[in-house]
Structure 1
Amino acid sequence: MTDHVYNVLFLCTGNSARSILGEAILNKDGEGRFRAFSAGSQPKGEVHPLAIKELDALGYSTENLSSKSWDEFSGTDAPQMDFIFTVCDNAAGEACPVWIGHPMTAHWGIEDPAAFEGNEAEKQRAFAQAARFLKNRISAFLSLPHATIDRMALQNHLKEIGTMEGSTQTNVENN
């Protein structure tokens, strides 16, 4: 068993909902084997309050969560990422910065709960669903034998995870 802690970056455009959910879920469920971060190409500047509410309801820490630019993770002083997952179709289609260390990447697109229109209870259900879809993907990711699997097989598994329940059409078309 390796003591290596894997760095994982979740990306979306606004870094206010989906990528934040991914960061919080992996930081707890990864049990110290993974250190998760999140960022956006055009960060909103604040975490969506319903994302915070959902994470609190599920027992995940919301301390230190913030909306930030992906530029913070592309410099030479940034933590080197092992994995980068885009969770929105817009971010997947954008020209990303050059990431140091050639991390493995995959698109795990799900619908944006922040864009859901409805009453407060319906909006909260959209956030609950997004959290469930991300938690399922993260559980599948955590079950992979990261230290022993070859890079190509791991990349294939990462792409397959992106097609799990709740995938956006971009995931299905690209896999």
Structure 2
Amino acid sequence: MIMPIMGFAQDSTSLKNPTKKERSKINKKKKDPTAPKNWELNGYLKYLTSVYFLHQPNKAMLQDNLIHNRLNFKWYINDDFTFKADLRTRVFFGEYTKLQPNYGKTIVRGDSLKNGYSDYLSWALLDERGAVIHSTLDRFYLQYSKGDWDIRLGRQRINWGINTIWNPNDIFNTYSFTDFDYEERQEVML
């Protein structure tokens, strides 16, 4: 039985990406305190608890907890360049985490195996018995936009298609529909 409890906090003005003309005005008015900012910061915080009922006489159930935090940062350097960094942090704690030795290392190693390369942007900040804090920079790139050209250099996500539950055509970014807690989905190495 899984009981999700979610809470979202997001600035509604940050949902709209400014146009180049608006960014130009932003950059010209940097010194004016009433001018719009040339950066955005938004994200969310969620709490998810899971309860596993066991058929063992000594243990009736296991409870596990997950606090999921996401911070999205975007900086409009000038009219042509944008820097983006998205940080995902998860805190695992509970009985299930106590039963898994080196759970933090397992998560970091799993990210590396899943992506097919050494993941230098994923860390286990705390790996203790019963509590793990894991952070990863899953979007980290510099974008150049000029006319019809958009060039991104760095770690990014490429969507081959989007569907509500499952996307059978997306062979690069396949995922389980039971992993409903991670809306952004992981990137894939091409």
Q: TM-score, normalised by structure 1?
A: 0.27
- Which structure: greater strand fraction? 2
**Structure ranking higher on relative contact order (CA contacts 8 Å, 6+ apart):** 1
Q: TM-score, normalised by structure 2?
A: 0.25
Bigger radius of gyration, 1 or 2?
2
